[in-house]
Structure 1
Amino acid sequence: MPYEEYAHDLSAPLSAAARAVWAKHDWDSGGWLPLWRHMGDSAGTAAYLWDEWLPPQVRARISEALPGGEADGRRLAVWLAMVHDIGKATPAFACQVEGLAEAMRSHGLKMPSVAQMGKDRSLAPHGMAGQLLLVAWLQENGWPKRAAQQFGAVVGGHHGVPPSDADLQDALAHPELLFGPTGTDTWQRVQRELLDTAASACQIREHLDAWSSVKLPQPPQVLFSALVIVSDWIASNAALFPYFQQAGSAADGRVSRALQRLGLRGRWRPQRPQGSAQEVFAARFSWDEGTRVRPVQEAALAAARGMDEPGMLVIEAPMGEGKTEAALVAAEDLAAVSGAGGCFVALPTMATSNAMFSRLADWAGSLQGLDGSASVFLAHSKAALNDDYAGLPFAGVESADNIERDAAEGPGGGLAAHWWLRGRKKGMLSDFAAGTIDQLLFAGLKSRHLALRHLAVAGKVVVVDEAHAYDTYMNTYLDTVLSWLGAYRVPVVVLSATLPARRRRELAEAYCQARRGSAEFDAVEKAQGYPLLTSAVPGKAPRVEAVEASGRRTEVRIELLDDDLDVLARRLESELAGGGCALVVCNTVRRVHAAARVLRDRFAGTDVGVTVAHARFADLDRADKDRELLAVFGPPAKVAELGGRRPEHPRIVVASQVAEQSLDIDFDLLVTDLAPVDLMLQRMGRLHRHLRGEGQCERPERLRTARCLITGAAWAKQPPEPDSGSQFVYRPSPLLRAAAALDPLLQAGDGQGSAGGSVVLPDDIDRLVQGAYGPDPIGPPEWQEELEQARESHEVEQAAKAEEARAFLLGAPARAGRSLIGWVQAGVGDADDSPRGRAQVRDAGESLEVLLLRRRADGVLTTLPGLGEGRGGIELPTDFAPSEEAGRIAAASAVRLPFPLVAPWVIDRVIGELEQNLFPAWQDKDAHWVAGELLLILDEDCRTRLAGFDVHYSHEDGLEVADAH
């Protein structure tokens, strides 16, 4: 059926009273839309989305419980979209615009004025009213109430939150809000007429009896809800569906024109990659002739090819083995099996997401089965500041200025950022996305428009990278989301180099919606071998396969080093006497700054360079720091691409955990604070990582053996006592168990009188991780009492974190037939990708982000001095909005304040002082980059006082905070 005809078939038989009911009104222009017109627009849009935009994976989930399969799914989707606003045919809604209400009164639809209606009107919002009207109509057509509520709740929740039973009862207690004054039935006749006519227009009458006995699972109910919301949002866009200026305005071709201007392209139609693993990987990633597929990559593709239905694949393999490439190729194959229409890669941080985005775009652009321009999205709050994302062409029509910007040949050949799919609630609906794990965890948070987040992932393959990086609080959300992904039959690929066996089992059980401790998952936890692949499909026994290692081995000599900065400086002076590059990884930024100061003093006047890297840099500086690290310490090809060069003179990089993951960098020597063993292994993965090509600096003779010096603890104590800052970040038990796991290696020595022993990567990774995180006691006998006390305390803390996470945690899918009434009751309201929003799915405590600006001695406000590419020292007005470019630079100068400034006893004072820097002109819509942001204004020397603390910022060291007392 042409998408126009829904409105035609709906309007033709309607009475004058039904045609007078209004749905949309614009106060500025006086334009309006009758309800029947909006119903037709919404139905036509839903039909188009079903036919052209929804992936087969989603259509299959919606339809599998329906007697007529996908044909029934389409009919229901179109019909629910058509009737979603039936609640506007009530006095509680219609009284809001007096002129339109008066026109309705003239046709017998009596109602009080909005003032006469009073506050009771809020008891019957039109979504909830629509649910009540639709359920009553279905009951009149012979449906039991329970069955009717399954579909009624889709209408009731189309503004983001399905009503609760109490809400519905409150509305029913005020029938005048729904049906007008007592003793009249005109409202009910018009409501029934609109619903009857919609049923005829959508040709569903002959199917009602069969549908009345359907017990619809909750996942398809959620997807129906999301599809109705998307259809409503598109049909409510006045730039696409203009309002009428008078009742008789023509609308021929209206829906077709709107959908053409919308420009949503058909999604990816995946095909199973053909050929050998070598051929597939070489084609997808443009390998040169000398690059060979690694065993874990070959096994991952074979495992995906062996899954004849959607499931979860867990890939455990060492750092640098090409897990990301393996995941993307496996995702391509799994997508072809499931009918997915895209892929989302979830990562721990914005920095890792930015790095992944260009890799994802390159891979997506090489895929077969892309129909026109696929939409892509960088899913985190600062995506607009990312040059790769901001530089993408836009697809469709920009509603703000009606300028058509067709997608040109962008990265990956035709990828585009679609104009309508921008924004915090719609962006994830794009075909391909890379972003922070929060975007996935939000699908487990009871919040407004949660159904949209479910639709966003239900049509994709989901890749969860760095799975070991998430704590108990986040894992509580992740496991809930995995249970829904399993119910949606979404293929999932999980990646980790250091995954505890117990966590591997929990992931598989969550995805398969199995009871914790189910016997059939014992093999997943007890599996031996590394690398390891685990395949899990709901309803089937999981499979675990040990994979041949690639043969890449690095023997890392480990040694304890006293936690004394002078000792560290003397040792590095000795180690780097013949040249080389050392990485010092500290667990806190405070320790980074302290170590850097001592090392700079020690090496002052020499050719040894000392730099720092941590997360407390302004965004622009942080990006430059990452780029510099890759240009100097990255793979030879990346160094050449960025125009860098390996240092000829000794170099020391003092870093926080930012050097621990995702940055592909290589050092000759590592010094690391004691950390949980999986994270220490990740840090060791930065040692001797790359083979040096011709023309590259050779490793100094003294550093040709990879060595790791472990500090950050009082080693003389039994057991050792970790640094207090490290204990605050990681808690004592994981630190002590890491020390216990490494102790036998440290005691072994090398047989030649040298202190310390060796860790062989990757051979020792699995054994160390499982020992440190397993249930069995480890470490010397004299450590056991303290280790046991730390373990018990840790388990109590983790249980409390899990319980805290459940406050707004979505429940698992309920039994089939249970409606979405109360689905997100007692939720958080709107969940956004802001520090406060992210704190809802992360155990991050209070967080406060500020924009760093400088006030010159002459009083002029500027961006930070010294920012590259002409971005530093730009003058900023305070009595009007900054220019687009200046505002963007200011927004990219954000930094998160450290704990001393966000501690509970000081944060109110900090916010109060920062709010003194408020410029009213910057809160205007034209200042969108900086509106609502807190500003930390530094003086000429980039210093200030804040809440009694001295604050200093430099491009060399980032933000430093010291107690002024």
Structure 2
Amino acid sequence: MTRTEHEQGGQSSSLTTHSVALPPLGALWGKSAGKAGGRANLLLQHLLDTAAVAELVWDHYLAPSLRQTLNDIAGPGRGRRFFAWLCGVHDFGKATPAFQHLDEAGAARVRRAGLVWDQRVVRLHRWRHDRAGGCLIRGCLSEVGWSEASIDWVWPLIAGHHGLFPTLGGAAEPRRAGGRLQGKGREWKQARWELLNAFTTALGFDDVAGVEPNNTPNRAVQLQLSGFVVMADWIASDQEHFRGVDSLAEVSMHGARERAEAAWKRLGLRGGWGELVAPGQNTFQARFRNDPRPSQTMLADVARQMGAPGLVVVEAPMGEGKTKAALVVAEVLAARWGMDGVFVGMPTQATCDPMFSNVRSWLEGIAPDLASQVALLHGKRMFNRQWRDLLTEDAAPDDRFTSVDEDEFGLDDPYGVSAQASADVVPERLAPAEWFMGAKRGLLSPFVVGTIDQLLFAATRTKHVMLRMAGLAGKVVVLDEVHAADVYMSQFLAEGLRWLGQAGVPVVLLSATLPPAQRRELMAAYLAGARSADAVASEVSAVPEPSGYPSVTAVWRFGSEVGHVVKASRSWRDDLQVAVEILPEPFDDAAKEPDGRASGEQVAALLRERLADGGCALVIRNTVLRAQQTFEALREEFGDEVRLLHGRLCAADRADRTEECLELLGAPKPGGSPRPPRMVLVATQIAEQSFDVDADLLVTDLAPMDLLLQRIGRAHRHAGVRRPDRVSDPRVIVTGFAPQDGRPPRFVKAAEGIYGRYLLLRTAAQVCAAAGDRWSIPGQVPQLVSEVYAPDRSVVPAAWEQAERDAYTEWADRQRTRAESAEPFLLTRAGEHGRQTLEGLHRGGSKDVLPDEQHRAMVRDGDRSVEVVLVRQDDRGFRTLSGKSLGVHGEASRDRLDDVLGGTVRLPAKLTEDAERELGPLDGWREDPWLRYSRALPLDASGKGRIGDHEVRYDRLLGLTEERTR
């Protein structure tokens, strides 16, 4: 075969006669018979298999932007072959005694080929093949003349292909082994050279020297490439699709390509939309069947003006339509810069589910088949009926892939799924390929909706983090409600933005209320890359502040320069003049906390007067307990006209109530339910964002200004709603604190614990100053947020200044402590962002296969909590929370699954340790793929259950309550 044929992807029928005649190549094994379908797979065949898979990853999965990047690295037209070589050479370190002795049959064959070792030494000392490969490839590449810069970035990708990047010293053979783990004598070195040369020439290169790339990619691109090496290896290691080839005469690149193509087809793998046509001016109307608002048009125009992939920060009022605009912007950016998919990150699991539907509808407007490729990623997706309905009956549940089995030699990988179809029948799948649903692979799906945690995980120093970063490569990233990230989460968000910015991944950030300092921090993180903090700060300071609201700020880096576009537009509707009132919290001087019952009765008395002629009110409390107490007081006054919504309702009750509230208080729809004459919804912070209800009157506990404004966004939200005269003007009544003449106000202690006294003091000052007056919303939003979060202390009255200084000191110390507590988990250590390669990235340990709740705890500060499934128990056995019978051991048939899962509820954090110690699945769940990891909490006939010394009760109206503590 000519070199030109190789470069065009031609297929070689076999290795050269010289290669076939070399006994070591016919002996060195890559997969034992037990791991390759009953017949050992020669090491050379596995390298070729992996390279063949990589070719398909290039052809059918990689975004155009990534293919261009690889061509820039390898040289024009050389990217595909170099990518295949990089992926295939990953197991070079298996050509050592340290690995070859691990399988008895394989070892005997290698010894018969003349490659021997000291059995005592190889058993005594360990040298993982991934680290051995990284170490040994350095010498080979140096010997053929590769530059030090090229070697330095390539070897960690080999040494780290099992998920951890070692230091050079950590990859080296243990000194006490005396070089015997790599094999003494020229026979072992010659065998490795013959392996490397045979593999390299089979791909169409003249020799190993000719593989050297022309350029060195930045570290973020290296991390993404590492993820694709892992992806190709895992696919090529699935014994169902790549059965062993133990005869050198049968080893060929042609055979590897046939195997890879069959596997790719049967696994149903694919990329996103490929080359996307640039959206036109009418795209918004075509996608969403209504004309764009001025801010939505502005946002798309700014995206068209950007000089390179960059960061787009959108600040717009609640209900402005930011998310729809962001999806169109994703099309613009994808078409301009060759992106092949999208990740939409939401603040909570609850907000993911409606966004999942919205993204599927949007993609269907681009191309009907794309809607089936959207993955839903969050810890409770199994409860989402739409997601479960998308999975074909022959597909296993998600938790089939939750475990990763690997010994210390990296011998056992989480390679993939077992094909359930016959070789020539591929079942139709209405969801992303099942392979993508495996552990750590979700972000590799072409289109993803998930919690922001998925991005935050990609910024953690965890094993196989490269898979997550590869999943973000070539996508447009959209993050909603970014203001909700606290100082702890913000460390991971900034770290993620830093890597994405360096990799050239476009990011769109959405927020209704973003403090200016936070906007600048996000821009600095994205633009940073390997630059110094001072240099980036200077660049960010040159970007002007938005001059209006809604606004968009776009920044990008092109070489050493930073470009920007900053624009503002008018909102789609006129400002609301929101009257501000204070309802002082009824504190008892003898008690540290106000009586919750008295506070609820106070709200009931107020609403009795304000809703005398009807109307719909929303009451937002800062804790579940206050919400429950308020609900009880209001129910005595208004009966069935009151609803309660909070996080300690079981999944079914919460879903039903959320749906009911959105139907009754949401945007008017033709044929929808009529707005009730009178209704009161009591809720916690879950009504604060991404909750499209329209209240005539808002009563809310005090919260920091940005969150308070989010809550105000639920009042008089939609135009054209008929409202009774007493609530015809927008009004917010703020409680949860009590002003005191000449002294700082008193706050509910629980609120101080959640938000800190400093921000509550500054927000209370603004509320007190506005009491009896009005705020112009949304026009005044940037000013109000800036005044609370800016360091100027003049916002508080003189009598509060000492209290504010004390509160600030406490708040700043807490912020610093929380930020520092994130550092051990961040992907990059402090001071190491300027490093040029991935060497030692995981130095100092790594969190690996953590349950979802523990991963969540890593990236979200606060007390860890767990979910349990509530079941009823009597002398006849178990029933679901809704009353449907289960077996005597809790056996749940398929038609009972929704009812069982509907009883899922999150426990108070203080019960976590007891629940983890005491609760587990029912005996009848242990073999059930959906329920075997669930913790059951049995309840008696009165709805009571026990966890440790705590007695809890589930009430269908109140949700979960803690009855008492012994």
Alignment TM-score, normalising by the size of structure 1: 0.89
Q: Give the secondary structure class of the aligned counterpart of 1:314.
A: strand
Superposed CA deviations along residues 382-435 of structure 1, whole A, max 9, x for unmatched, are 223212222225699973522655547x6xxxxx32121112311111111111
Partner AA of 1:940 in structure 2: A
Aligned twin of 1:540? 562
Aligned twin of 1:645? 674
Q: Give the secondary structure class of the aligned counterpart of 1:661.
A: coil
How far has the Cα of 1:546 moved from its partner? Answer: 2.2
Indicate yes or no: 2:57 matched with 1:39: no
Aligned twin of 1:354? 353
Q: Give the secondary structure class of the aligned counterpart of 1:552.
A: coil
Aligned twin of 2:146? 143
Aligned twin of 1:798? 815
- Which of 171, 174, 179 aligns to 2:177? It is 174
Partner AA of 2:573 in structure 1: G
Higher mean displacement: 236-245 or 704-713: 236-245
How far has the Cα of 1:780 moved from its partner? Answer: 1.7
Q: Give the secondary structure class of the aligned counterpart of 1:512.
A: helix
Indicate yes or no: 2:614 matched with 1:589: no
Partner AA of 1:789 in structure 2: D
Partner AA of 1:329 in structure 2: V
Indicate yes or no: 2:509 matched with 1:494: yes
Aligned twin of 1:304? 303
How much is the aligned-residue C-alpha RMSD, in angstroms?
2.8
Higher mean displacement: 16-25 or 295-304: 16-25
Equivalent residues in 2 for 1:583-622, closer than 5 Å: 583-604=618-639, 609-622=641-654
Moved over 6 A (4+): 245-251, 370-374, 395-398, 812-817
Structure 1 residues 373 and 294: alpha-carbon distance in aligned structure 2, compared to 1, 3 A threshold: closer
Indicate yes or no: 2:67 matched with 1:59: yes
Equivalent residues in 2 for 1:757-776, closer than 5 Å: 757-776=773-792
Q: Give the secondary structure class of the aligned counterpart of 1:952.
A: strand
Instruction: Answer whether contact 2:694 2:714 (CA < 8 A) is retained.
Output: yes
- How far apart in 1 are the matches of 2:508 and 2:393? 29
How far has the Cα of 1:26 moved from its partner? Answer: 4.5
Partner AA of 1:23 in structure 2: G
- How far apart in 2 are the matches of 1:65 and 1:100? 38
Superposed CA deviations along residues 292-344 of structure 1, whole A, max 9, x for unmatched, are 42111010011011113211111111011110111111111011111100011
Higher mean displacement: 699-708 or 200-209: 200-209
Instruction: Answer whether contact 1:268 1:371 (CA < 8 A) is retained.
Output: no
Partner AA of 1:79 in structure 2: W
Structure 1 segments unaligned to the other structure (5+ residues)? 411-415, 747-755, 866-871
Q: Give the secondary structure class of the aligned counterpart of 2:602.
A: helix
Aligned twin of 1:560? 582
- How far apart in 1 are the matches of 2:494 and 2:268? 36
Structure 1 residues 26 and 462: alpha-carbon distance in aligned structure 2, compared to 1, 3 A threshold: same
Superposed CA deviations along residues 435-476 of structure 1, whole A, max 9, x for unmatched, are 101000111100111111111112100011001111001111
Instruction: Answer whether contact 2:581 2:732 (CA < 8 A) is retained.
Output: yes
How far has the Cα of 1:834 moved from its partner? Answer: 0.9
Higher mean displacement: 670-679 or 31-40: 31-40
Partner AA of 1:32 in structure 2: A
Instruction: Answer whether contact 1:263 1:396 (CA < 8 A) is retained.
Output: no
- How far apart in 1 are the matches of 2:820 and 2:204? 49
Indicate yes or no: 2:12 matched with 1:18: no
Aligned twin of 1:750? none
Partner AA of 1:729 in structure 2: I
Aligned twin of 1:723? 748
Superposed CA deviations along residues 156-189 of structure 1, whole A, max 9, x for unmatched, are 1111112223322353552555333x4x432222
Instruction: Answer whether contact 2:635 2:642 (CA < 8 A) is retained.
Output: yes
How far has the Cα of 1:367 moved from its partner? Answer: 1.7
Partner AA of 2:266 in structure 1: R
Structure 1 residues 255 and 901: alpha-carbon distance in aligned structure 2, compared to 1, 3 A threshold: closer
How far has the Cα of 1:816 moved from its partner? Answer: 8.5
Aligned twin of 1:936? 937
Partner AA of 1:945 in structure 2: R
Aligned twin of 2:110? 104
- Which of 682, 690, 693 aligns to 2:718? It is 690
Structure 1 residues 921 and 609: alpha-carbon distance in aligned structure 2, compared to 1, 3 A threshold: closer
- How far apart in 1 are the matches of 2:344 and 2:389? 20
Superposed CA deviations along residues 338-366 of structure 1, whole A, max 9, x for unmatched, are 11000111111001111111101111111
Equivalent residues in 2 for 1:326-725, closer than 5 Å: 326-367=325-366, 375-392=373-390, 399-402=418-421, 406-407=427-428, 416-513=431-528, 515=533, 518-522=537-541, 524=543, 526-538=545-557, 539-563=561-585, 564-604=599-639, 609-637=641-669, 640=671, 644-648=673-677, 650-692=678-720, 698-716=722-740, 718-725=743-750
Instruction: Answer whether contact 2:310 2:556 (CA < 8 A) is retained.
Output: yes
Instruction: Answer whether contact 2:312 2:507 (CA < 8 A) is retained.
Output: yes
- How far apart in 2 are the matches of 1:95 and 1:132? 19
- How far apart in 2 are the matches of 1:374 and 1:849? 29
Structure 1 residues 274 and 828: alpha-carbon distance in aligned structure 2, compared to 1, 3 A threshold: closer
Structure 1 residues 843 and 836: alpha-carbon distance in aligned structure 2, compared to 1, 3 A threshold: same
Superposed CA deviations along residues 847-905 of structure 1, whole A, max 9, x for unmatched, are 2222222212x24022212xxxxxx52304538x6445545643453222113424xxx
Instruction: Answer whether contact 2:344 2:450 (CA < 8 A) is retained.
Output: yes
How far has the Cα of 1:769 moved from its partner? Answer: 0.7
Superposed CA deviations along residues 720-775 of structure 1, whole A, max 9, x for unmatched, are 121111111111111111111223211xxxxxxxxx22122112211111111112
Instruction: Answer whether contact 1:308 1:337 (CA < 8 A) is retained.
Output: no
- Which of 838, 845, 849 aligns to 1:820? It is 838
Aligned twin of 1:954? 955
- How far apart in 1 are the matches of 2:810 and 2:33? 60
Q: Give the secondary structure class of the aligned counterpart of 1:679.
A: helix
Partner AA of 1:644 in structure 2: S
Alignment TM-score, normalising by the size of structure 2: 0.89
Structure 1 residues 58 and 144: alpha-carbon distance in aligned structure 2, compared to 1, 3 A threshold: closer
- How far apart in 2 are the matches of 1:584 and 1:84? 58
Instruction: Answer whether contact 1:943 1:953 (CA < 8 A) is retained.
Output: yes
Structure 1 residues 952 and 210: alpha-carbon distance in aligned structure 2, compared to 1, 3 A threshold: closer
Indicate yes or no: 2:285 matched with 1:261: no
Aligned twin of 1:50? 58
Structure 1 residues 331 and 134: alpha-carbon distance in aligned structure 2, compared to 1, 3 A threshold: same
- How far apart in 2 are the matches of 1:529 and 1:498? 13
- How far apart in 2 are the matches of 1:81 and 1:342? 23
- Which of 19, 30, 54 aligns to 2:38? It is 30
Q: Give the secondary structure class of the aligned counterpart of 2:766.
A: helix
Aligned twin of 2:412? none
How far has the Cα of 1:271 moved from its partner? Answer: 3.6
Partner AA of 2:84 in structure 1: V
Q: Give the secondary structure class of the aligned counterpart of 2:804.
A: helix
- How far apart in 1 are the matches of 2:887 and 2:488? 41
Aligned twin of 1:413? none
- How far apart in 2 are the matches of 1:802 and 1:815? 17
Q: Give the secondary structure class of the aligned counterpart of 1:956.
A: coil
Superposed CA deviations along residues 808-858 of structure 1, whole A, max 9, x for unmatched, are 2122897888331211222432255611111111112222222222212x2
Structure 2 segments unaligned to the other structure (5+ residues)? 1-5, 396-416, 586-598
Aligned twin of 2:878? 861
Superposed CA deviations along residues 687-710 of structure 1, whole A, max 9, x for unmatched, are 1112347xxxx3222111122111
Indicate yes or no: 2:797 matched with 1:780: yes
Partner AA of 1:596 in structure 2: F
Equivalent residues in 2 for 1:914-925, closer than 5 Å: 914-915=918-919, 919=922, 922-923=925-926
How far has the Cα of 1:11 moved from its partner? Answer: 8.8
Higher mean displacement: 586-595 or 558-567: 558-567
How far has the Cα of 1:652 moved from its partner? Answer: 1.2
